[in-house]
Amino acid sequence: MATQVVDHSALKVNQTGIVATVLVAFVGSLLFQPLLVLIPLLAIVLLLGTFAPQLALFKQIYFQVLKPRGIVKPRPVQDRPEPHNFAQGMGGVVLAIASVFLIPVPVIGLALALLVAVLAFVNAAFGYCLGCQIFYQLERRGVLKPS
Amino acid sequence: MSAQLWALAVVSAVVLAAAGLETFRARRAGRLAAGATAAASTDPYILYFTGDSCTVCKTHQEPALARLGAVRIDKVDAIAERSLADRFHVYTLPTTVVMAANGQALHVNYGYAPAPKLERQLAEARGTALTATA
């Protein structure tokens, strides 16, 4: 189980981006319903970022803009990137399911999207990562092999 | 408008249910783990269950443990030492167990345990040891 250095500021920017996007879609859709399109777009961004980190929009904003300009300071921590990627992928999958429900059953679609935002907020604010806990349980049960 | 309000109500209910379930789960696991034993020592010590996938361990729990000063801390990889983790019903990381000198679990903390809480539990464990030897 090799640990690497993970910049936790990149993770925080990612979580903040998720919360902000869902909130804009949620609150904004009260006035302008087409803003709900942000939810499927966010699902695509998260899923792309899970499989191709160079396409992770919020992390790239951090690495290309916020970090070089000193707006957000780096916070390197000896850590494994896999649980964080797993958590991001889980968020992407839930948002994809939310997107499917947005038109036929908007309550379910909005609730699922809001749940992802709540979990991202809890992670950013308190460091509790539900996806990482699920990753631990899957490793413990041998579903995922420790790398 | 109503869809947003209903969604907010659903999420609030889910969050409250999850918090309640987590409290119940932690209490149940704590009850099951109470009295479980590990190696005896001359002083109370802490069993610290962690893993490579645990971020809170690195960012919160380890700095809190470092603040405790001269206390023996046995770091246990919960994946590699599964039987020991199962003995203390470790279902989440980090988990810290305050062990009495006789090797019996006194307090089990599932999730992040701040330094003052651990200090309190260690003081209680030392008190228990003093009572036992008096």
Looking at residue B89, the DSSP 8-state letter turns out to be T
Q: Which residues contact A52 (CB under 8 A, 6 or more apart)?
A: none
Per-residue exposure over A30-57, b if at least 16 CB sit within 10 Å of its own CB, e if not: eeeeeebebbbebbebbbebbeeeeebb
Top pLDDT among A91 and B69 is at A91
**Can you tell me the ipTM of this complex?**
0.78
Residues B68, B70, B73, CA angle at the centre, nearest 5°? 75
Chain segment A112-136, per-residue pLDDT in tens? 999 999 999 999 988 888 898 898 8
Percentages of chain B per state (helix, strand, coil), in multiples of 5? 50, 20, 30
Q: Binning pLDDT at 50, 70 and 90, where does residue A17 land?
A: very high
Give the mutation candidate from B21, B55, B58, B81 for the A interface (greatest A CB count, under 10 A): B55
Q: For strand B45-50 and strand B73-77, is the pairing parallel, antiparallel, or unpaired?
A: parallel
- In angstroms, the CA A112 to CA B11 distance is 8
What are A74-85's pLDDT values in tens digits?
A: 998 888 888 999
B95-99 and B73-77: which strand pairing? Answer: unpaired
The CA distance from A28 to A40, in Å, is 15
Chosen from A1, A4, A39 to mutate, greatest number of chain B CBs within 10 A = A1
Q: Which residue of A has its CA nearest to B86?
A: A140
Contact A136 B55 (CB under 8 A): no
Q: What are phi and psi of B108, to 5 degrees?
A: -120, 125
**pLDDT averaged over consecutive 10-residue blocks of chain B (134 residues)?**
88 93 88 80 92 85 92 92 91 92 90 94 81 51
Predicted pLDDT of residue B132: 52
* Nearest CA-CA distance, residue B1 and chain A, Å: 6
Specify the 3-state DSSP secondary structure of A4.
Answer: strand
The pLDDT, as a whole number, for residue B134 is: 46
Check residue B128 and give its pLDDT. 67
How much is the CA Rg of chain B, to the nearest whole Å? 18
Q: Looking at residue A74, what is its pLDDT?
A: 93
Res B129: pLDDT:
58
